Amino acid sequence: MKLYSYFRSSAAYRVRIALNLKELEHDIVPVNLLKSEQRGEPYLSKNPQGLLPAIETEQGVLSQSLAILEWLDEIAPQAPLVSGDAWEKAQIRALAYAIAVDIHPINNLRVLKYLTAELNVSDEQKTKWYQDWIVTGFDSLEDQLGEGPFCFGSAPTLADICLIPQVFNALRFKVDMDRYPKIMAVYEHCNTLRAFADAAPQQQVDAT
């Protein structure tokens, strides 16, 4: 299978982690978001949404990171991303969605570009925008985490897969992460695992 990815795309980062955890063979096809390659051919013919990531298989092309992660969990049950009883599964999804649905969308690249290009927001104001929304989201996430090495239980789940890319971005935008010791403990532990370390932006073929 092929994963269309950009090294700093949080959504693509999630899928890279999952593919590594499940030890699924795949090729990375870089799509440069800064050059708007996702809005041109040949990518647009594969994913008319013009967003990353997308995964191409013999069955076709699937977009949207959460849909891809759910599909991967169904076709490759090893290293399950959502496990436990119904309540435990719901808790995992709730935390993952808090990141992927609430925090990430208002801070992704196309929103940041719009703030700059259309609203003439300065770099300083853009950074403050990013930091404020991260803090709003992370304040509640910190309260939800326990003392374990992962968000839930003794193995990485969908929640960790969504959290780690968001923490990477928070650090990049100089959010004060000292106020989130539980989040940082999960981040640091996950990055000791090869599946996470190999998926990190700086390890990608298109990293700059």
Query: Would you list the DSSP string of 173-193?
Result: TT--GGG-HHHHHHHHHHTTS
CATH classification (class only), 86-195: mainly alpha
Residues 6+ apart with CB under 8 A from 123: 116
User: Helix, strand, coil shares of the chain as percentages rounded to 5?
Assistant: 55, 10, 35
Rounded Cα distance, 70 and 90, in Å: 14
- Is domain 2-79 given the CATH code 3.40.30.10 in the classification? yes
Residues 6+ apart with CB under 8 A from 159: 92, 95, 96, 99, 150, 151, 152
Q: Is 2 helix (H, G, I), strand (E, B) or coil?
A: strand
3-49 pLDDT per residue, tens: 999 999 999 999 999 999 999 999 999 999 999 999 999 999 999 99
Query: Nearest-CA neighbor of 136 among 112, 102, 113, 165?
Result: 102
Count helices and strands (H / E) in the chain: 9, 4
> Which residues of the chain have a pLDDT value below 70?
none
pLDDT value of position 157: 98
Rounded Cα distance, 148 and 155, in Å: 10
pLDDT value of position 3: 99
Query: Nearest-CA neighbor of 174 among 140, 126, 142, 137?
Result: 126
Residue ranges of the domains in the chain? 2-79, 86-195
* DSSP character at residue 103: I
pLDDT value of position 85: 97
Tell me the pTM: 0.95
Give percent above pLDDT 90 in the chain.
Answer: 95
